[in-house]
Amino acid sequence: MKDEDATMSRRGRRPQARSADRCEYSGSEEAVRLGRQAVASRGRLHRECDHTGRADYGEDRPVVPCRADSTEMNIVHIFGLDHFHQSLETRCITVAGIADEQQQKAGLTDTLRQIIAENNVTLIAAEAEPDLRCLGHRLAQEHGIGYINITMPVAEREKHGVRTPDYDRHEDSRRAAYKVFEQYMFEQIKSRDEKTILVMCGRRHLRGLQALFSACGDDVRPYDINDYLWYRGIPKEDTEGVVGYDRDNAVGA
């Protein structure tokens, strides 16, 4: 019988010796092929994003007027992802888990590169950790384009009555907090004078941000990581390797 401590969660402890590891996502022909299959459908919001039938983010929120100095229509590509896959640090522990993690990250990297190159993106706006060791920042450097981190600082959240991490303990407070976060992201992006933008955010913010930009008359092009064949989810590991995946199918708040 296996010891319960042998089962390692996706956010579980990692050996100290691996804390500085980085993934190099060189990509593969297979990842590119699968990514292109999904990118071809970017002109619509995928059905999977609303599989529960809930109209709970976007439709029921008040329309936010655009800033007077942001009247020009922008092209906004919004990629809803799992934050696990945008980290440059290796999170898995087993050999099989690390290989799986890197393969999925390669698929994400190749897909985002394709979006950037094919659409002449000039700014990447990423919901990321405060440090710059994230995929969005690396891609911006790689393509010589602008980058901003649109994660709402904890101090700013407190000013709006959002306490971290307390907001995430109940559905009602989570939904309210997400609207605050999305408004902040929207305003940070709108403050930049950029024509074509790639937004990298948690997939639960996908349709909320889509609603805000659409209300301004922007050309919004949504992408959901769940629609890509290379995406399986966050590997769940035990001592023998990958035993399943933690996949977020929720539609947001």
Q: Extract the tokens encoding 213.
A: 């930009």
Q: What is the pTM of this model?
A: 0.72
Three-state SS for 9? Answer: coil
Q: Examine residue 226 and state whether it is found in any structural domain, yes or no.
A: yes
Q: Are 80 and 205 in contact (CB under 8 A)?
A: yes
Both tokens assigned to 127: 């919901």
Residue 21 lies inside a defined structural domain of this protein: no
Residue 128 domain flag: yes
Phi and psi angles of residue 124, each rounded to the nearest 5 degrees, phi first: -110, 125
Write the DSSP string, 78-132: EEEE-GGGGBSS----SHHHHHHHHHHHHHHHHHHHHHHHHHT--EEEE---SSS
Domain assignment present for residue 208? The answer is yes
In angstroms, what CA-CA distances link 124 with 11, 76, 78, 149, 189?
26, 10, 10, 9, 9
Domain that holds residue 220: 34-43+74-238
Cis amide leading into 153 (omega within 30): no
Q: Give the pLDDT score at 71.
A: 58
Long-range contacts of 10-15 (CB under 8 A, 24+ apart): 10/84, 10/91, 10/234, 10/235, 10/236, 10/237, 10/246, 11/91, 12/93, 14/90, 14/91, 14/93, 15/93
Q: Residue 236: what residue type?
A: K
Give the count of alpha carbons within 13 A of 243, CB side only: 11
d(CA 29, CA 26): 10
For residue 154, the model assigns a pLDDT of 84
Query: Does 18 fall in a domain?
Result: no
Quote the CA–CA distance of 69 and 193 in Å, as a whole number.
10
- Is 164 part of a structural domain of the chain? yes
Number of domains in the chain: 1
Tell whether 159 is covered by a domain.
yes
Phi first, then psi, for residue 232 (nearest 5°) are -115, -25
Please check whether residue 247 lies inside any domain of the structure: no
Q: Residue 251 has which token pair?
A: 């539609």
Three-state DSSP state, 29: helix
Q: Which two tokens stand for residue 209?
A: 């941000």
pLDDT at 193: 87
Q: What is the pLDDT along the chain (253 residues), one digit of tens a residue?
A: 444 444 343 343 333 333 333 333 333 344 334 444 443 333 333 323 332 222 233 334 444 456 545 557 899 999 999 999 999 999 999 999 999 999 999 999 999 999 999 999 999 999 998 765 799 999 999 999 999 999 998 888 888 888 777 666 778 888 888 899 999 999 999 999 899 999 999 999 999 999 999 999 999 999 999 999 999 999 999 998 999 999 987 765 4
pLDDT on residue 81:
95
